Chains A and B, each alone.
Chain A
Amino acid sequence: MQEFAQQTLSGIASGSLFAILALAIVLIYRSTSVLNFAQGEMAMFTTFIAWSFMTRMDFWLAFALAILVSAAIGAALERLVLRPVEHAPALNSVIVTLGLFTIFNGLALWIWGAQPKGFGPFSVFKGDPICTADVCIGRLNVGILVVSFIVMALLYVLFQRTRLGLAMRATAENRLASQLVGIPVGNMLTLGWALSAGVGAVAGVLVAQSVSLTTSSLFAILLYAFAAAVLGGLNSPPGAIAGGLIIGVSKNWAATYVPSEVGNVDLTLAFAMIVTVLMIRPTGLFGRPPARRV
Chain B
Amino acid sequence: MLSLRDVHASYGPVLALRGVSIEVPTKGIVAVLGANGAGKTSTLRAVSGIVHPAHAGHPGCCIVELDGRRIDRMAPEKIVQLGVSQVPEGRQTFSEMTVLENLQLGAYTRRDGNGVRSDIDRVFGYFPVLGERRRQQAGLLSGGEQQMLSIGRALMARPHLLLLDEPSLGLAPLLVREIFQIVKAINEAEGLTILLVEQDAKAALAIAQRGYVLETGRVVLEDSAERLRENEAVRRSYLGY
Residues of A within 8 A of B (CB): 163, 166-167, 169-170, 173-174, 176-184, 288, 290-293
Contacts and interface: CB of A to CB of B under 8 A. Distances in A.
A180 B81 contact: no
Contact of B92 (A163, A167, A177, A288): A177
Given A166-B101, A180-B50, A290 B88 contact: no
A184 B77 contact: yes
25 contacts: A170-B105, A177-B92, A177-B93, A177-B94, A180-B48, A180-B50, A180-B92, A180-B154, A181-B85, A181-B108, A181-B153, A181-B156, A181-B157, A182-B76, A182-B80, A184-B75, A290-B95, A290-B96, A291-B95, A291-B96, A291-B137, A291-B138, A292-B95, A292-B139, A293-B142
B51 to A, nearest CB: 11
Nearest to B142: A293
Contacts of B80: 180-182
B101 A291 contact: no
Contacts of A183: 77, 105, 108
Interface residues of B, number: 33
B141 A293 contact: yes
Q: Considering the complex of A and B, which 4 residue pairs feature the smallest CB-CB distances, nearest first?
A: A291-B139, A182-B80, A182-B109, A177-B92
A97 to B, nearest CB: 25
Contacts of A178: 105
Interface string B148-185: 00000110110000000000000000000000000000
Nearest to B79: A182
Contacts of A176: 50, 88, 92
A129 B240 CA distance: 82
A135 B75 CA distance: 59
Interface string B22-35: 00000000000000
B97 A182 contact: no
B106 interface: yes
Contacts of B101: 166
B140 interface: yes
B104 interface: yes
A288 B95 CA distance: 12
B228 to A, nearest CB: 28
A246 B76 CA distance: 44
Interface in B85-135: 85-86, 88, 92-97, 101, 104-106, 108-109
Contacts of A290: 95-96, 139
A182 B95 contact: no
A176 B45 CA distance: 11
A291 B50 contact: no
B92 A174 contact: yes
A173 B92 CA distance: 10
A293 to B, nearest CB: 6
A182 to B, nearest CB: 3
A288 B141 contact: no
B238 to A, nearest CB: 27
Given A180-B88, A181-B85, 14 more contacts: A166-B101, A166-B104, A167-B108, A170-B94, A173-B94, A173-B96, A174-B92, A174-B93, A174-B95, A180-B154, A181-B108, A181-B156, A182-B77, A183-B108
